[in-house]
Amino acid sequence: MTSETHTRLHPPRLTLEGCSFAYDEKSVLRDVDAVVESGEFLGIVGPNGAGKTTLLRLLSGQRAPASGRATSGDEALHAMPALKRARTIAVVPQSEAVMFPWPVYSFVMLGRHPHTRSLGFEGPGDHHAVEEAMAMVGITELASRKVTDLSGGELHRVLIARALAQDAPVLLLDEPNAHLDIRHQVELFELLSQLHGTGSRSIVIITHDLNLASTYCDRLLLMDDGRIAAHGAPRDVLREDLIARHFGVRVGIDEGERPHVRLLRPDGNS
């Protein structure tokens, strides 16, 4: 048995009920209701500034809603003890300022913190989990490189490996494919699909790639202006009218269970 399978909890259902949030005076989420079902692969799409990252911050417990409730089971997410939350939810942020020149291996080991803390030192299981996470995202050969010397794409894969090493049943990712070339994007979605395919992980991903979201996600949430504009199966969300209204672009849709979005020029030509 690997560390991938023996320590993880069952993914809890995450719920946002009537959640509003503002940074200072600026209202960013307005009366949002959303659910992440246990074990689902949920994509969050929407234009820049729609509130997607903020919604993820509520789901990770990093921020508390100004009104409404953000819960994991019956527990308020932001009030969960930090260790319990870290064992439940792993986050891959959009970016992270890395100041200290950690070797990649040690940096990924930071993801084991919620598991090693009670013992105070790393055991063979932790090393196994780190090696496995690094192998899964294809960064084994970067092990001794300094995190401060990596390209944007390499660093992003290191952040993903750290989250995988955390071995939490809920994985939240904020535009993880933004810095990746097309091969690494497909590899990432294949990896997420494989991790999710066991049914033992909930995955929530913010992405601007509507076709990758359509291909891999069970369900999509379309956000605009702090609200949920649409949600459902990819074919219910990736519609010409919804994309025109919320992204302000003309597209053609190749219909199907998993629709494919084609960009059109404003005059309607492809």
Site residues for ligand ADP, 52-71, by CB under 6 A, read 52-54
Q: In the bound complex, what is the minimum distance in angstroms from residue 174's beta carbon to ligand ADP? A: 7
Q: Which residue lies nearer to ligand ADP by CB, 28 or 180? A: 28
Q: Which residue lies nearer to ligand ADP by CB, 154 or 175? A: 175
Q: How many residues bind ligand ADP (CB under 6 A)?
A: 11
Q: In the bound complex, what is the minimum distance in angstroms from residue 68's beta carbon to ligand ADP? A: 16
Q: Which residue lies nearer to ligand ADP by CB, 95 or 148? A: 95
Alpha helices in the chain (DSSP H): 3-6, 52-59, 82-88, 104-109, 113-116, 124-136, 152-165, 182-197, 210-216, 234-237, 240-247
Within 10 A of 142 (CB to CB), how many other CB atoms are there?
23
Do 41 and 193 form a contact (C-beta atoms < 8 A)?
yes
Do 105 and 156 form a contact (C-beta atoms < 8 A)?
no
Within 10 A of 215 (CB to CB), how many other CB atoms are there?
16
Q: Is residue 35 classed as helix, strand or coil in its secondary structure?
A: strand
Tokens for 191, please give them: 């990896």
Q: In the bound complex, what is the minimum distance in angstroms from residue 236's beta carbon to ligand ADP? A: 20
Q: Which residue lies nearer to ligand ADP by CB, 126 or 175? A: 175
Q: In the bound complex, what is the minimum distance in angstroms from residue 48's beta carbon to ligand ADP? A: 5
Question: Maximum CA pair distance of the chain?
Answer: 64
Cα(117)–Cα(111) distance, integer angstroms: 11
Per-residue x/- track, 15-54, ligand ADP (CB under 6 A): --------x--x-x-----------------x-xxxxxxx
Strands 67-72 and 75-76: antiparallel
The yes or no reply on residue 93 touching ligand ADP (CB under 6 A) is no
Q: In the bound complex, what is the minimum distance in angstroms from residue 108's beta carbon to ligand ADP? A: 26
Per-residue x/- track, 206-245, ligand ADP (CB under 6 A): ----------------------------------------
Q: In the bound complex, what is the minimum distance in angstroms from residue 113's beta carbon to ligand ADP? A: 24
Output phi, psi for 145, to 5 deg. -70, 155
Q: Which residue lies nearer to ligand ADP by CB, 25 or 257? A: 25
Q: In the bound complex, what is the minimum distance in angstroms from residue 117's beta carbon to ligand ADP? A: 28
For every residue of 98-161, DSSP letters joined together read --S--BHHHHHHGGGHHHHTTTTS--HHHHHHHHHHHHHTT-GGGTTSBGGG--HHHHHHHHHH
Binding site for ligand ADP (CB under 6 A): 23, 26, 28, 46, 48-54
